[in-house]
Chain A
Amino acid sequence: MWQNYLFPATVQEALEMLAAHGGQARIIAGGTDLVLQSQRGQCAATVMVDITRIPGLDAIEERDGYITIGCQVTHARIAASPLIRQKAEVLALACGSVGGPQTRNVGTLVGNVVNALPAADGAVALFALEAEVEVADADGRRWLPIAEMYAGVGECTIDPCVQMVAAVRFRPLSDGWASAYQRLANRKALALPILNTAVVVGLEEGVCSEVRIAVGPVAPTPFRAREAEAALAGQPPTPEAVVRAARLAAEAANPRDSVLRGSRDYRKAMVEVLVRRALTEAVTKAMP
């Protein structure tokens, strides 16, 4: 399958290894997706650059007004993190719903992003948190909005032959803010979502100061329901307003018919149900 398996000691060294193998090398963290992609012929790379032993990439920390999560951090650690549960609950819930415990113990949130699948639980939550992604390459490191990471289904805009993602970050949810996560699947564990939604709501004096609604998989990338967000922003979150927003989200969503996940019309209808429930839950939690 692979010809070489390398452990760089620094991000710099990892990037040098990528460069040295002229497109044949890939970054591997947990590998829960990459191993299967390699086995199924969907990834031709022959050299694995394992970044899980580079010091300093394993933190979940709050500083400078951001919560930053390093690229080694697994779903299990995020799901169990008191900081995340308190200040970005939606992400903890999303990461806690990935696969089974063993997958969560190994798979990373950043891997979720780099794989660029529209249903990835962690990534959908990051869309609602308006996360930024730290890309590292020969030119250094810079933060990009998460939406810019996505080119299509399974297509990340970073060049995996020369770039890597070092971390993600987002603003913690302070008082008056709350989040919620809703997921529909064919069974309660070990199942990709039929549909998932992450919402973040900020309330100020009884009015929604900000609303963010992310839904997957209803488009080639995790989907922000902007019309729905706009309809609720600036309004008091009455049940009627929430229902209206949920309907707008469903109208904007564009799921495909899927043999395994279900029909387009079912999933479109479910967008409304899940978004309504998530908004209701988040609004309730955000109330003083």
Chain B
Amino acid sequence: MQLKAVGQGVQRVDIRQKVRGTRKYPQDFNMEGQLYAKVVWSAHPHAVVKRIDTSAAEAVPGVVRVITYRDVPVNEYGINVHDQPVLIAEGDKVRWVGDRIAIVVAETERIAAHARDLVQVEYELLPVVDDPRQAMKPGAPLVHEDRESNILKHIVIRRGDVEQAFAQADVIVEGYYTTHHVEHAYLQPDAALGFVDDEGRIAVISSCQWPADDLHQIAHMLDLPEDQLREIVPTVGGAFGGREDMYIQHLAALCAFVLRRPVKIVFDREEVTQRTGKRHPFYMRHRTGATRDGRIVAAQVELISDAGAYASTSIPVLGNAASFALGPYKIPHARVDAYTVYTNNAVTMAMRGFGATQPPFGYESQMDKLAEALGMDPVELRLQNLLDVGDIAVTGNVMTAETGAKETLRQAALAAGWREEDGHWIKPDLGTPSAPYKRRGIGVAIAYKNVGYSLGYDDKTTAKVELSLAESGEIARVLVKVAAVEVGQGVLTALAQIAADTLGVDVDKVRLALVDTTETPDAGSSSASRHVFISGNAVARAAAQAKEKWQAILRDETGEMHVEAEYTFHGRSVRPTTPFDPETGQCEPHISYSYAAQVALVEVDVETGQTEILKFWAAADAGKVINPIMYFGQQAGGVHMGVGYALTENYIQQEGRPRARRFSEYHIPTVMDMPHEFESIAVESAPDPNGPFGATGLGETPTLPTAPAITNAIHDATGVWIESLPANAERVWRALRAAHKL
């Protein structure tokens, strides 16, 4: 097959409208006669709702209805487990400040906002559990009173004989690493417009990641068959996992269901920040043992994650974290205990990396501690232990063709100036610091992640490809129907490239249909770095079938002008995954993988603790690069999120109450906070023969190694280990002070 689009920096299909400002996001839609809704949020992180009095709000002129739990046919929802009430009932509990008491619907947004404050709620306060380590202890207040414990899930991995292996280790290093709550901070606040469509369906225009799953949950909530529902997804202004759960679309659907009129809900930034899900904090206790020559012989880790008030996807996030807990290394004897625990903190959920983002801060800090203890170069130590094709991972699976760990690290290290001499790696000279009170350091980290849904989940996409033929019989236009949501990552463009080259047409002949559950078949979620692999396979195979049909038309001269083909691609058709064995955790965890290795050159102000990133090298192997310009964008954007994770972002809560409430208090990096120089390295060393054109997926991996690359660089500069994120100025200063190095 000749590649004309794949591998080229094809122009993004949606970008001309985006630079003109004409692309419409859900808040940009309005309908005749629409009403406006505002949510009455829980005032407390843990309390019994004794009484809800809506009379004062209902008396406000212009208020159309105050919707409460009595209006919800089946008052529960949730992406994996239906454990969340849609609206809290009198006598029931609020479990975090994102729980909803009522929805005020009015003729204008201002009236709705005014009336919302008049809804009177009487609470009986309950003790708040805000630390999962306390919450998992017997006797802790229960977040879900029908459970015996706040522990939502415990996963174990047992491989080899850990005790004996530690006994034989020459060097053992330990660490206790903690990570924090992080906000997705997509720029477009959640918005939804619910209405009854021409065919009587309850419809919602919304920003989401997985319309079919939304529909599934809304059907349950409204007790309606899915064919009486509809979700339309226009343009989504970023997601990063944060729109995988429902936060707004079901509320708009409920309003339309109750009132049979269009109802619009737009969250403001404070609502997005305080009332939607976050990245899981993890508490990670590591122990790693190696021989004197730098061979890891044993490792063990205990992971505890804060699930917040409801399950969301905390269990699969924990599964990922457990499988990646010890990194992409050959470890013959390993033990992992992973827990996720309910608290009254913010619900935690999918966020770029999905449980693969927190572990590298632990295992890559351990690798640098080990290198220091052994007196080895950190690159050399890693190369000596990284997984290769044919090696066995801690879950017992054999690593396959797409294992690009070593080459990715090699290329990152070489780009950053490391030299290999006589089999040894030597780190580069770092130059002179810009001030006497500054120290330079360089740090490296590598991480890997699954592509596609894991651990036995049936990951699949259905795609339809429709060809319109010209009089000449040539393909005039291609329409791809697939509910793969463009959240900014470039999926529409990548799928268009894949369809174009499969069909042998110019990419500008390919159009992707608007995602609408009545038109576009389920493509799963825009998550797990999966669309290029899973949906790309579906589109490629549907396109290949369409091409065969088209060639038959030409051969048989039937004169048909239209061709359609549909294909459902299952990840299990190329690699069936399996759940953890409950006793040993041994399994075939993932469909495919991608790798990222990064190097940070930093300068640390040892008087203030501030870290400045001078230069950054990001290498990634996600198999074949579909679009090099978008590849760069994913790398740089992923590193941006990693820099914020490492240095500036912190969603602070105290006793379940938000303290970083808005953008002025939650600091994603500005352009000035990014590394001064940035180099993206596309490593195409390990294509996956199962991926379209050998591609796997790049959406998440570039975020994973960023924080440990930076904290390892801080260590190189100052000699102190940073074991908690974010490594903001005060934290680094405290570590320096504790080490008497000021």
Q: Do chains A and B touch in the complex (CB under 8 A)?
A: yes
Contacts of A85 in B (CB 8 A): none
Instruction: For B652, give its contact among A260, A263, A273 (CB under 8 Å).
Output: A260
Closest chain B residue to A269 by CB distance? B733
A151 within 8 A of B: no
A230 within 8 A of B: no
B201 within 8 A of A: no
Contact B670 A189 (CB under 8 A): yes
Within 8 A of B (CB), among A261-278: 262-263, 266, 269-270, 273
Smallest CB separation, B604 vs chain A (Å): 14
Contacts of A232 in B (CB 8 A): none
A288–B652 Cα distance when bound, in Å, is: 49
Smallest CB separation, A277 vs chain B (Å): 8
A190–B673 Cα distance when bound, in Å, is: 11
Smallest CB separation, A182 vs chain B (Å): 10
B549 within 8 A of A: no
For this complex, 16 residue pairs linking A to B, each with C-beta atoms less than 8 Å apart, are A100-B670, A186-B667, A186-B729, A187-B648, A187-B667, A187-B669, A188-B673, A189-B670, A189-B672, A189-B673, A190-B667, A259-B654, A259-B659, A260-B652, A260-B660, A270-B608
Closest chain B residue to A40 by CB distance? B270
Contacts of A189 in B (CB 8 A): 670-673
Interface 1/0 per residue, A171-193 and B, CB below 8 Å: 00000000000001011111110
Closest chain A residue to B666 by CB distance? A260
Q: List residues of chain A with CB under 8 Å of any chain B CB.
A: 100, 184, 186-192, 194, 259-260, 262-263, 266, 269-270, 273
Contact A262 B660 (CB under 8 A): no
Q: List residues of chain B with CB under 8 Å of any chain A CB.
A: 607-608, 610, 648, 652, 654, 659-660, 664-665, 667, 669-673, 728-730, 733-734
Closest chain B residue to A266 by CB distance? B730
Smallest CB separation, B202 vs chain A (Å): 33
Smallest CB separation, B675 vs chain A (Å): 12
Smallest CB separation, B600 vs chain A (Å): 17
Having A186-B729, A188-B670, A260-B660, one finds 4 other A-B pairs with CB under 8 Å, namely A189-B671, A189-B672, A192-B664, A259-B652
Closest chain A residue to B674 by CB distance? A188
Contact B730 A263 (CB under 8 A): yes
Smallest CB separation, B645 vs chain A (Å): 13
Smallest CB separation, B471 vs chain A (Å): 55
Closest chain B residue to A192 by CB distance? B664
Contact A187 B670 (CB under 8 A): yes
Instruction: Tally the A-B contacts, defined by beta carbons under 8 Å.
Output: 44
Smallest CB separation, B272 vs chain A (Å): 16
Contacts of A270 in B (CB 8 A): 608
Contacts of B654 in A (CB 8 A): 259
Closest chain B residue to A260 by CB distance? B665
Instruction: For B670, give its contact among A190, A194, A260, A269 (CB under 8 Å).
Output: A190
A100–B671 Cα distance when bound, in Å, is: 11
A186–B664 Cα distance when bound, in Å, is: 11
Contacts of B729 in A (CB 8 A): 184, 186, 194, 262
Contacts of A273 in B (CB 8 A): 607-608
Closest chain B residue to A261 by CB distance? B730
Contact B728 A186 (CB under 8 A): yes
Closest chain B residue to A41 by CB distance? B117
Contacts of A190 in B (CB 8 A): 664, 667, 670
Query: Given A187-B667, A187-B670, A188-B673 in contact, is the A262-B730 Cβ separation under 8 Å?
Result: yes
Smallest CB separation, B69 vs chain A (Å): 29
Contacts of A260 in B (CB 8 A): 652, 659-660, 665
Smallest CB separation, B101 vs chain A (Å): 21
Query: Given A186-B648, A260-B652, A263-B730 in contact, is the A191-B610 Cβ separation under 8 Å?
Result: no
A260–B466 Cα distance when bound, in Å, is: 54
Instruction: For B734, give its contact among A186, A191, A266 (CB under 8 Å).
Output: A266
A270–B728 Cα distance when bound, in Å, is: 14
A36–B269 Cα distance when bound, in Å, is: 13
Q: Which of B608, B648, B654, B734 lies at the interface centre, i.e. has the most chain A CB atoms within 10 A of its CB?
A: B608
A192–B730 Cα distance when bound, in Å, is: 16
Smallest CB separation, B249 vs chain A (Å): 27
Closest chain A residue to B648 by CB distance? A187
Contacts of B734 in A (CB 8 A): 266
Contacts of A187 in B (CB 8 A): 648, 667, 669-670, 672-673
A194–B610 Cα distance when bound, in Å, is: 12
A191–B650 Cα distance when bound, in Å, is: 14
Contacts of B669 in A (CB 8 A): 187
A187–B670 Cα distance when bound, in Å, is: 7
Query: Given A260-B659, A260-B665, A273-B608 in contact, is the A188-B672 Cβ separation under 8 Å?
Result: yes
Smallest CB separation, B268 vs chain A (Å): 10
Smallest CB separation, A98 vs chain B (Å): 13
Contacts of A192 in B (CB 8 A): 664
Instruction: For B667, give its contact among A191, A266, A269 (CB under 8 Å).
Output: A191
Smallest CB separation, B115 vs chain A (Å): 16
Contacts of B610 in A (CB 8 A): 184
Smallest CB separation, A46 vs chain B (Å): 15
Contact B652 A266 (CB under 8 A): no
A273–B659 Cα distance when bound, in Å, is: 28
A188–B676 Cα distance when bound, in Å, is: 13
Smallest CB separation, A1 vs chain B (Å): 9
A184–B612 Cα distance when bound, in Å, is: 13
Contacts of B665 in A (CB 8 A): 260
Closest chain B residue to A182 by CB distance? B608
Smallest CB separation, A196 vs chain B (Å): 13
A259–B666 Cα distance when bound, in Å, is: 12
Contacts of B667 in A (CB 8 A): 186-187, 190-191
A244–B581 Cα distance when bound, in Å, is: 65
